Chains A and B, each alone.
Chain A
Amino acid sequence: MSAVRPPAAPAPDGGHILDLDDLGVVFTTETGTVRAVRGVSLHVAPGETLALVGESGSGKSTVALAAMGLLAGNARATGRAVVDGTDIVGADEEQLSGLRGKTVSMVFQEPATALDPLTRVGRQIAEVIRNHRRVSAADAAARAVELLRRVGIPEPEQRARAYPFQLSGGQRQRVVIAMAIANEPALLIADEPTTALDVTVQAEILDLLRRLAAETGTGVLLVTHNMGVVADFADRVAVMYQGAVVETGSVEDVLLRPSHDYTKRLLSAVPRLSVSEAAGGGDTAEPAGAGSVGAGSVGAGSAEEPAVELTDVSVVFGRGKQAVHALRGVSFAVRPGETLGLVGESGSGKSTASRVALGLVAPTAGSVTLFGADLARTRARARRALRAGVGVVLQDPVASLDPRMTVGECVAEPLRVHRRTLSGRERESLVGDVLDRVRLPREVARRAPRELSGGQRQRVSLARALVLGPRLLVADEPTSALDVSVQEAVLEVIGELQEELGFACLFVSHDLAVVQQFARRVVVMRAGRAEEQGLTSATLLHPETDYTRRLLAAVPVPDPIVQRGRRAERLATLAAGRTEEQG
Chain B
Amino acid sequence: MSTYSFLIRRVLQALAVVLLVTVVVFCLLHALPGGPARGILGPQATASQITAFNHEQGLDRPLPVQYVYYLNQLVHGDFGMSYTLNEPVSQLITERLPKTLLLTVLSAVIGLLFAVPLGVWQAVRRNKPVDYVITTLSFIAYSTPVYFLGLILVLVFSQVLPWFPAQAPQGNSVGDILAQPQGLVLPVVAGAATMVAVFSRYMRSATLENLGEDYVRTARAGGTRPRAILTRHVFRNSLTPVVAMLGYYIPVLFGGALVVEQLFNYPGMGLLFWTAAQSSDYPVLLGCVLVISIATVTGSLLADVLQRVIDPRVKAGRS
Chain A residues within CB distance 8 Å of chain B: 68, 70, 93-94, 97-102, 105-106, 108, 110, 113-119, 124, 127-128, 131-132, 163, 165-166, 176, 179-180, 182
Q: Is B226 an interface residue when CB atoms closer than 8 A count as contact? A: yes
Query: B148 → chain A, closest Cβ, in Å?
Result: 39
Query: B129 → chain A, closest Cβ, in Å?
Result: 17
Say yes or no: B226 contacts A93, CB within 8 Å. Answer: yes
Query: A574 → chain B, closest Cβ, in Å?
Result: 30
From A101, A106, A163, A179, B313 is in contact (CB under 8 Å) with: A163
Say yes or no: A68 contacts B213, CB within 8 Å. Answer: no
Residues of B with C-beta under 8 A to A99: 223
From B215, B226, B232, A114 is in contact (CB under 8 Å) with: B215
From B219, B312, B316, A127 is in contact (CB under 8 Å) with: B219
Residue pairs across A and B with Cβ atoms less than 8 A apart, 19 shown, are A68-B221, A70-B217, A70-B221, A98-B223, A100-B222, A100-B223, A101-B222, A101-B223, A106-B218, A108-B218, A114-B215, A115-B215, A115-B218, A116-B219, A116-B237, A131-B225, A163-B312, A165-B312, A165-B318
Say yes or no: A127 contacts B232, CB within 8 Å. Answer: yes
Q: Is B30 an interface residue when CB atoms closer than 8 A count as contact? A: no
Query: B284 → chain A, closest Cβ, in Å?
Result: 45
Say yes or no: A131 contacts B222, CB within 8 Å. Answer: yes
Q: Is B78 an interface residue when CB atoms closer than 8 A count as contact? A: no
Residues of A with C-beta under 8 A to B318: 165
Q: Is B311 an interface residue when CB atoms closer than 8 A count as contact? A: yes
Say yes or no: A179 contacts B223, CB within 8 Å. Answer: no
Say yes or no: A128 contacts B223, CB within 8 Å. Answer: yes
Task: Write the chain A residue with the least CB distance to B215.
Answer: A116
Q: Is B56 an interface residue when CB atoms closer than 8 A count as contact? A: no
Alpha-carbon gap, A114 to B219, bound state (A): 9
Residues of A with C-beta under 8 A to B232: 119, 127
Say yes or no: B214 contacts A128, CB within 8 Å. Answer: no
Task: Write the chain B residue with the least CB distance to A129.
Answer: B222
Residues of B with C-beta under 8 A to A127: 219, 222, 224, 228, 232
Residues of B with C-beta under 8 A to A118: 233, 236-237, 240, 310-312
Residues of A with C-beta under 8 A to B311: 117-118
Query: B313 → chain A, closest Cβ, in Å?
Result: 5
Task: Write the chain A residue with the least CB distance to B316.
Answer: A165
Q: Is B220 an interface residue when CB atoms closer than 8 A count as contact? A: yes
Alpha-carbon gap, A176 to B222, bound state (A): 10
Say yes or no: A117 contacts B237, CB within 8 Å. Answer: yes
Interface residues of B in 276-295 (CB under 8 A from A): none
Chain B interface helix/strand/loop/mixed: helix
Do A131 and B224 contact each other (CB < 8 Å), given the known contacts A118-B237, A163-B313, A165-B312? yes
Alpha-carbon gap, A119 to B237, bound state (A): 10
Residues of A with C-beta under 8 A to B312: 118, 163, 165
Chain B residues within CB distance 8 Å of chain A: 213-215, 217-226, 228, 232-233, 236-237, 240, 310-313, 316, 318
Alpha-carbon gap, A180 to B219, bound state (A): 10
Alpha-carbon gap, A105 to B226, bound state (A): 17
Q: Which 4 A-B pairs have the closest CB atoms?
A: A101-B223, A128-B222, A101-B222, A113-B214
Residues of B with C-beta under 8 A to A110: 214
From B215, B221, B236, B316, A100 is in contact (CB under 8 Å) with: B221
Query: A62 → chain B, closest Cβ, in Å?
Result: 14
Query: A123 → chain B, closest Cβ, in Å?
Result: 9
Say yes or no: B223 contacts A102, CB within 8 Å. Answer: yes
Task: Write the chain B residue with the least CB distance to A105.
Answer: B221
Residues of B with C-beta under 8 A to A93: 225-226
Alpha-carbon gap, A166 to B315, bound state (A): 12
Alpha-carbon gap, A117 to B313, bound state (A): 8
Say yes or no: A106 contacts B233, CB within 8 Å. Answer: no
Do A70 and B220 contact each other (CB < 8 Å), given the known contacts A163-B313, A165-B318? yes
Say yes or no: A116 contacts B233, CB within 8 Å. Answer: yes
Residues of B with C-beta under 8 A to A102: 223
Query: A198 → chain B, closest Cβ, in Å?
Result: 20
Residues of A with C-beta under 8 A to B223: 97-102, 128, 131-132
Alpha-carbon gap, A436 to B198, bound state (A): 52
From B213, B225, B240, B316, A113 is in contact (CB under 8 Å) with: B213
Say yes or no: B218 contacts A114, CB within 8 Å. Answer: yes
Residues of B with C-beta under 8 A to A165: 312-313, 316, 318
Alpha-carbon gap, A115 to B218, bound state (A): 7
Alpha-carbon gap, A176 to B233, bound state (A): 16
Residues of B with C-beta under 8 A to A94: 225
Task: Write the chain B residue with the least CB distance to A179.
Answer: B222
Alpha-carbon gap, A176 to B219, bound state (A): 10
Alpha-carbon gap, A93 to B230, bound state (A): 15
Task: Write the chain A residue with the least CB distance to B225.
Answer: A97
Alpha-carbon gap, A114 to B220, bound state (A): 11
Alpha-carbon gap, A22 to B221, bound state (A): 23
Residues of B with C-beta under 8 A to A105: 221-222
Alpha-carbon gap, A127 to B216, bound state (A): 13
Query: A533 → chain B, closest Cβ, in Å?
Result: 33
Alpha-carbon gap, A180 to B222, bound state (A): 7
Say yes or no: B224 contacts A128, CB within 8 Å. Answer: yes
Alpha-carbon gap, A124 to B213, bound state (A): 15
Say yes or no: B316 contacts A179, CB within 8 Å. Answer: no
Task: Write the chain A residue with the least CB distance to B1.
Answer: A322
Residues of B with C-beta under 8 A to A182: 222
Task: Write the chain A residue with the least CB distance to B317.
Answer: A322
Task: Write the chain B residue with the least CB distance to A118.
Answer: B236
Do A108 and B237 contact each other (CB < 8 Å), given the known contacts A100-B220, A101-B222? no
Residues of A with C-beta under 8 A to B213: 113
Say yes or no: B214 contacts A114, CB within 8 Å. Answer: yes
From A101, A119, A163, A166, B221 is in contact (CB under 8 Å) with: A101
Alpha-carbon gap, A180 to B220, bound state (A): 11
Alpha-carbon gap, A94 to B217, bound state (A): 15
Residues of A with C-beta under 8 A to B225: 93-94, 97, 131
Residues of A with C-beta under 8 A to B221: 68, 70, 100-101, 105-106, 108, 180
Query: B234 → chain A, closest Cβ, in Å?
Result: 9
Do A117 and B215 contact each other (CB < 8 Å), given the known contacts A165-B316, A165-B318? yes
Query: A143 → chain B, closest Cβ, in Å?
Result: 14
Query: A412 → chain B, closest Cβ, in Å?
Result: 35
Residues of A with C-beta under 8 A to B218: 106, 108, 114-116, 176, 179
Most chain B CB inside 10 Å of its own CB: which residue of A93, A116, A119, A166: A116
Alpha-carbon gap, A305 to B123, bound state (A): 61
Alpha-carbon gap, A108 to B316, bound state (A): 26
Residues of A with C-beta under 8 A to B233: 116, 118-119
Query: B212 → chain A, closest Cβ, in Å?
Result: 10
Do A108 and B224 contact each other (CB < 8 Å), given the known contacts A118-B310, A127-B232, A163-B313? no
Alpha-carbon gap, A563 to B219, bound state (A): 34
